[in-house]
Structure 1
């Protein structure tokens, strides 16, 4: 389910958590240190916005059923980013005077940080469930590929056995043809032997008749 999106998602969650910590730390700073910390946070917000844009483009390039789920998550990330921006504005406005800063830190700032932390916790839980679902999908895909490979192997074995059976069948046909030819040859030989027997019998009979005739004439004289 969108490995590229998951990569951007992990980067955003890590960056969002880091920015939240910096916001908490900068609330207690003053002067140049606070300005420097706010500058770092704003640069981080720009990176977070870039990741949001990349996730949006990646989600819209996926299949409709996957895209709908990822865009719903993306709306939560955008809301989280807006909360971070609001925190930064509240912290920056604390530069006006110490009283305003203390008021923001004690009331609205604390509430915003709590809401943002809760939302990030939900996002991390959702991300973990998504990763688990992705792992299950990968396992199912791997099992499907293994089953497909096993099926291909079985089909190849069946094809090889079929070729062997066809070869054996052709061999049997050849043996049958040879037996038929041998049978015809033996039949022809048997007929020739019978004909030769008749010829020999006739010759012997003629010789016997000739001998009898010769003996008759000799005895008659």
Structure 2
């Protein structure tokens, strides 16, 4: 990163090098803190507090995820219910249409029979 920043224009280079120094300083501070914690020189209360705060964040995130998952599951269930209702309505409509077509067919047959009977009466 140093080499890339040094090869840029002067106005950009100074800004990037300053940020890079800041990031390196932060990294070194974090490394030393990790070493201090890992070596066991931290008091138990501070260690417990660190662990509890991390657990609280994890629990909060887990709770948020769980609530979002439950809301999504509920929406999915509602969508499934609407699809089932729509399918039931479609099947009922289809049955009604079949019934109407059967009635129309029988009425057509009755009309054709009546027409044939009337035609026979006029031809005699």
TM-score of Structure 1 vs Structure 2, range by shorter chain: 0.5 to 0.7
1:178 is aligned, of 110, 114, 118, to 110
Aligned to 2:86: 154
1:122 correspondence with 2:54:
yes
Cα separation, 1, equivalents of 2:63 and 2:109: 68
Post-superposition shift, 1:182?
0.4
Cα separation, 2, equivalents of 1:152 and 1:141: 16
Number of residue pairs matched by the alignment = 85
Post-superposition shift, 1:159?
0.9
Q: Cα RMSD (Å) of the superposition?
A: 1.5
Post-superposition shift, 1:124?
1.2
For structure 2, list consecutive stretches of 5 or more residues without a partner in the other structure. Answer: 1-39
1:136 is aligned, of 68, 71, 75, to 68
For residues 103-146 of structure 1, the C-alpha deviation after alignment (integer angstroms, 9 at most, x for no partner) is xxxxx786222022111110111011001101100100000000
Task: Within 5 Å, give how 1:1-221 maps onto structure 2.
Answer: 111-192=43-124
For residues 148-176 of structure 1, the C-alpha deviation after alignment (integer angstroms, 9 at most, x for no partner) is 00111111111111111111100110110
For structure 1, list consecutive stretches of 5 or more residues without a partner in the other structure. Answer: 1-107, 193-221
Post-superposition shift, 1:185?
0.2
Larger C-alpha radius of gyration, 1 or 2?
A: 1
